[in-house]
């Protein structure tokens, strides 16, 4: 978990407010639509953690939270490819999170333990108890998918950043890279420095995901500046 239940709820409210502002005050664009979804998913995950600690259905909310954050890397990569005007393969992007989510839904006792601690919430799934290579293969695939998609997204953004001529678009890409790094690097450090957190990296990840939500909001704001600038230039040409 991202620390205490009240902090999780507060972060969820902040993220829901950011997404609502984007809906109400920003024009519909590919980037805006994807990041609204991304921020709402982040917020719902925070809410699921609050509910995990605040209701009698901790195992249910732990499973809901697991499924929710499982789709985040796919959404991020999908949004990145669309923003860079590359055609995404929807099947390849979402096949892993969909299959993992189906496994979580259909497997009795998938969540073994879900309890609140002083700082974190401990959520243990059947992945954490698999020790052989074949038994642990789903968890290895999950890790490769989760961090691999985030790293791939950041790599594509960085590559385009060095070739992009539009100053505002470069600012958008820089903000996205900073947000992604702030969300990912601290998590990897925690996993290396504190091995006992290894089986609950998404719980640590969400602690830094607020940075990504704020970065997404800033990116859409900068995109709005590009659209406004283009509209202004068109108006001048007409006159």
Domain annotation covers residue 233: no
Domain annotation covers residue 234: no
Domain annotation covers residue 237: no
Neighbours of 12 (CB within 10 A): 23
Domain annotation covers residue 116: yes
β-sheet bridge partners, residue 115: 122
- Tens of pLDDT along 1-49? 445 677 788 888 989 999 999 999 888 887 888 889 989 998 998 898 8
Question: What is the pLDDT, as a whole number, of residue 3?
Answer: 54
Query: If you average pLDDT over every residue of the chain, what do you get?
Result: 80
Q: Measure the CA–CA gap between 209 and 215, rounded to whole angstroms.
A: 10
Domain annotation covers residue 239: no
Q: Is-above-0.85 flag for pTM?
A: no
Q: How many domains does the chain have?
A: 1
**What range defines the domain where residue 127 resides?**
5-227
Domain annotation covers residue 236: no
Q: Measure the CA–CA gap between 122 and 210, rounded to whole angstroms.
A: 20
Among candidate residues 79, 110, 113, 112, the one with its CA nearest the CA of residue 93:
79
Pair of tokens at residue 141: 């695939």
Residue 123 confidence class, pLDDT cut points 50, 70, 90: confident
- Please report which residue ranges of the chain form alpha helices under DSSP H: 5-25, 30-54, 58-70, 72-83, 90-106, 133-161, 167-193, 201-238
- Tens of pLDDT along 146-186? 889 989 999 999 999 998 888 888 888 888 888 878 777 76
Give me the residue label for tokens 């060095």.
162
Phi, psi for residue 28 in degrees, rounded to 5: -70, 120
pLDDT greater at residue 149 or residue 113: 149
Query: What length is written for the chain?
Result: 239
State percent of the chain over pLDDT 90.
Answer: 23
Q: Mean pLDDT across the stretch 77-95?
A: 91
Question: What is the pLDDT, as a whole number, of residue 208?
Answer: 61
Question: Would the pLDDT of 210 be above 80?
Answer: no
Domain annotation covers residue 46: yes
Domain annotation covers residue 190: yes
Q: Which CATH number do you get for residue 159? A: 1.20.1070
């Amino acid at each position: 978990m991202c620390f205490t239940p009240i902090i999780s709820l507060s972060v969820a409210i902040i993220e829901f407010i950011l997404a609502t502002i984007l809906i109400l005050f920003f024009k519909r664009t590919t980037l805006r639509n994807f990041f609204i979804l991304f921020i709402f998913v982040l917020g719902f995950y925070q809410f699921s953690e609050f509910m995990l600690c605040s209701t009698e259905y901790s195992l249910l909310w732990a499973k809901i939270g697991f499924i929710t954050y499982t789709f985040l890397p796919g959404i991020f990569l999908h949004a990145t490819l669309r923003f860079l005007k590359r055609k995404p393969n929807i099947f390849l992007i979402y096949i892993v999170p969909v299959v993992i989510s189906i496994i979580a839904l259909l497997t009795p006792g998938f969540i073994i333990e879900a309890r609140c601690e002083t700082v974190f919430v401990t959520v243990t799934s059947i992945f954490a108890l698999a020790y052989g290579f074949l038994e642990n293969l789903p968890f290895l695939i999950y890790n490769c998918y989760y961090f691999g998609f985030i790293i791939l997204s950041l790599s594509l953004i960085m590559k385009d950043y060095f070739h992009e001529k539009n100053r505002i678009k470069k600012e958008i890409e820089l903000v996205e890279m900073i947000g992604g790094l702030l969300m990912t690097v601290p998590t990897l450090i925690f996993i290396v420095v504190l091995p006992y957190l290894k089986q609950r990296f998404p719980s640590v990840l969400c602690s830094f995901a607020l940075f990504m939500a704020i970065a997404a909001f800033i990116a859409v704001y900068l995109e709005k500046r590009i659209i406004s600038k283009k509209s202004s230039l068109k108006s001048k040409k007409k006159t």
